A and B are shown apart, each in its own frame.
Chain A
Amino acid sequence: MSGERPGDKGDRPGGGPPEASGWSVFSYMIGGMVLYGAIGWLIGRWTHIPLLFPIGMLTGLGLAIALIIYRFTRS
């Protein structure tokens, strides 16, 4: 956090403080798990396959990790 760095204002690597990036990662993981977990749970309720709930959560987690990798290493 040393002074003004023009063009470094998003949560791209090097932009923003480290804690902001950390919390972005955390909220992606929570978001992915909650969102795809909910979708899995709903479909599971509809089709009477309860296993779809954990599958949805794991899918969400995997996608969230993919998103974090794209977002923070390749942009």
Chain B
Amino acid sequence: MTPLAAHCAPTSAHLYSGCGYPAPSVGDFFFRPIATIGGISIDKPLLLAVISGAIVLGFFWLAFRKPKIVPRGMQNVGEYGVLFVRDQIIRPMLGKAGDKYLPFLVSLFFFIWVMNLFGIIPLIEFPATSKYAYPAGLALMVWITFLTIGIKSQGLLGYLKSICVPSGAPWWILWLLVPIEFFSNVFVRPFTLSIRLMANMLAGHLLLLVFGLASWYLFTLSFAPLLFSATSFVVTVIMTALEVLIQFLQAFIFTTLTAFYIADAQAAH
């Protein structure tokens, strides 16, 4: 937040109070450590990431603890989730043979989704995925996975050929295109994968902050500011609804592209 006048708390900043608008900034994405355990300082995003993992793990453990033929209650929801990832992400990309990647992709999808969802849960209101380290860590995992699968299924030379030599290009231009193909397949992919997720969550969180803070800041007992405050509040609600969609979509795209990279690593061109 931009610094306010000395006598102002962020919560008391209103129009006409002389405090100025506490505009959201990059500072809102850095938190004081809550505790330090063994040299690792625990801050809010880390805590949220750990909680997300625990929620996903706990949910699926509870859902499939005593599986029944006819699913009821939590098992029903869990199966619906797993089948969604299988039928919408894995089957179109990898076919039936891709079912062995189901555990990886299901955990990836739900872990990201829950981390994103924390962006709109009241009182938590921070998506851990808007800190670059979290998407970057996940993308690193995906990167190692698809490189390993590629080398395993096509051999080192075969895989190198398939990520270096673009299909359909004539020989005289090939030597200029090989570096681009290699660079974009090996180095750009993990970056676009992680930055897309981070940037979407960061932008969404900033938007919610801008309109949320504005509706509080403009809340003053006179007609025009009150009107603006109300408008801002309505926009906050609409943006929250949009965020629900985007949070789901980003988790979906991350997982879909992971499946696509795995499929691409398996198939010889």
- Tell me the A residues contacting B by CB distance below 8 Å: 1-6, 9-12, 16-17, 19-20, 23-24, 26-28, 30-32, 34-36, 60, 63-64, 66-67, 70-71, 73-75
Contacts and interface: CB of A to CB of B under 8 A. Distances in A.
29 contacts: A1-B92, A4-B92, A9-B93, A9-B264, A10-B263, A10-B264, A10-B269, A11-B264, A16-B263, A16-B264, A19-B256, A20-B257, A20-B260, A27-B184, A28-B184, A30-B184, A30-B188, A30-B192, A31-B183, A31-B184, A32-B180, A34-B188, A35-B179, A70-B168, A70-B170, A71-B166, A71-B167, A71-B168, A71-B169
Among B92, B180, B188, the one with the most A-chain Cβ atoms within 10 Å of its Cβ is B180
Nearest to B252: A19
Contacts of A27: 184-185, 188-189, 192
Contacts of A60: 180
Interface residues of B, number: 35
Majority secondary structure of chain A interface residues (helix, strand, loop or mixed): helix
A16 B93 contact: yes
A35 B253 CA distance: 26
Given A1-B88, A3-B92, A6-B95, A74 B168 contact: yes
Contacts, number: 96
Nearest to A10: B267
A55 B192 CA distance: 24
B79 interface: no
Contact of A9 (B88, B167, B176, B267): B267
Contacts of A5: 92
Nearest to B186: A31
Contacts of A16: 93, 260, 263-264
Contacts of A24: 184
Given A10-B267, A67-B169, A71-B167, A4 B95 contact: yes
Contact of B180 (A17, A20, A64): A64
Contacts of B169: 66-67, 70-71
A23 B192 CA distance: 8
The 10 closest A-B pairs by CB, nearest first: A31-B184, A75-B168, A27-B188, A70-B169, A74-B168, A75-B167, A31-B183, A1-B92, A27-B184, A70-B168
A24 to B, nearest CB: 8
Given A19-B256, A66-B169, 5 more contacts: A17-B256, A28-B184, A35-B179, A63-B177, A75-B168
B95 A63 contact: no
B247 interface: no
A70 B256 contact: no
Contact of B91 (A3, A67, A71, A75): A3
A21 to B, nearest CB: 9
Nearest to A62: B176
A28 B269 CA distance: 17
Interface in B74-115: 88, 91-96
Given A28-B184, A35-B183, A66 B173 contact: yes
Interface string B226-269: 00000000000000000000000000010011001001101101
B188 to A, nearest CB: 4
B139 to A, nearest CB: 13
